Structure 1
Amino acid sequence: MLERTLKKDRTEVTFVLPPYTPPGPVSVVGDFNDWRPGVHTLEPRPDGKRAVTVALPTSQVHSFRYLAAGDYWFSDDTAGDFDGPNSRLHT
């Protein structure tokens, strides 16, 4: 799930996943972090879900995926748009 907060000069996007699905550490990787795993690792929130917030420029399109333990790559079905196997995010 994606949560967006519009700011004056950027859009803060929070990437949210259920507590243990998939198990183990998960990071969001995309063109905004040069597809580098571990740069944006999801952390537990008080509600048990895992999340990370990334500040992105407004009025742009970004491709991303999640990477979980065991080299398990997956897309975000809630993104609403896809670029091949990647989820696509409009800010």
Structure 2
Amino acid sequence: MTIFSAVAVYFVIWWTVLFASIPFGLRTQEEEGSVIPGTTASAPAGSHMRRVVIRNSIVAALIYGALYGGNYWLGWSLDDLPRIIPDFPD
């Protein structure tokens, strides 16, 4: 695997994990009990993006490491995935 391919795969994993993990730990202004005038009650209470980015990078690195290890040591590839769509007879 070239370095470009490795970075591209990590990039895709990182963004996928980011969009899946953004809502975790998010507290709204209404839940905190301090709604700022001019904003909706469902707006986030504070910026938590630093924690999300750090947590996201660690989780993405673990997923990438598992995929890399499975490919390198176990020889797994996309061809080893089970078929989702069965073969129908002609």
TM-score w.r.t. length of structure 2? 0.20
Higher Rg: 2
TM-score w.r.t. length of structure 1? 0.20
User: In proportion to residue count, which structure has more strand?
Assistant: 1
